[in-house]
């Protein structure tokens, strides 16, 4: 239990300043990088002149991914570095896919509740992506936690003799 509390505190200690950096500087910097890198993918998908606008402003999910990669115990330095790099690329690809889904939903349904409803699954997947990518990279750690938790949940209750 102590280890879980320590990891939680480490996660908070990393995410608070990273969130502040993202809000103050990172959103605009990411949009400056994202827009030109995403443009060829959008053109390939048939949206060559799409205005991406403020969609990348919500892509803060690098913050929990980076924090999880920093605090996960038992990751080798190589797995931590390459996993972080590959994970960031995977998250970027997820962001491009989300932008494509957004363009499609709003082009097809306009600014209606139907567009939002069609976009909602992509939004959930986009938000979950950093945790999924982290779980794949740190699969041994995640497996060990899941095994310990399942042993607690499915343990035989103590019997009272009497």
- Per residue in 38-84, pLDDT (tens digit) is 989 889 988 887 767 666 667 999 999 999 999 999 999 999 999 99
Query: Which DSSP symbol is given to 23?
Result: I
Query: Distance (Å, rounded) from C-alpha 94 to C-alpha 130?
Result: 9
Helices (H) and strands (E) in the chain, counts: 6, 0
Residue ranges of domains in the chain = 2-152
Q: What pLDDT, on the 0 to 100 scale, is given for residue 159?
A: 67
- pLDDT, residue 54, reads 64
pLDDT band for position 97 (50/70/90)?
A: very high
pLDDT band, residue 151 (cuts 50/70/90)? confident
3-state secondary structure of 48: coil
């Amino acid at each position: 239990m102590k280890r879980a509390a320590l990891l939680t505190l480490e996660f908070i200690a990393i995410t608070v300043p990273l969130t502040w950096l993202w809000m103050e500087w990172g959103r605009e910097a990411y949009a400056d990088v994202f827009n030109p890198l995403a443009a060829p993918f959008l053109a390939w998908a048939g949206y060559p002149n799409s205005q991406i606008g403020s969609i990348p402003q919500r892509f803060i999910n690098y913050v929990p991914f980076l924090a999880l990669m920093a605090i996960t115990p038992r990751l080798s330095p190589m797995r931590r570095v390459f996993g972080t790099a590959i994970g960031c690329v995977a998250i970027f690809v997820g962001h491009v896919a989300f932008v494509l889904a957004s363009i499609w939903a709003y082009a097809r349904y306009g600014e209606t509740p139907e567009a939002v409803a069609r976009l909602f699954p992509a939004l959930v997947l986009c938000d979950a992506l950093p945790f999924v990518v982290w779980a794949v990279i740190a699969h041994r750690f995640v497996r060990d936690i899941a095994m310990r938790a399942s042993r607690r949940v499915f343990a035989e209750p103590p019997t009272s003799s009497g």
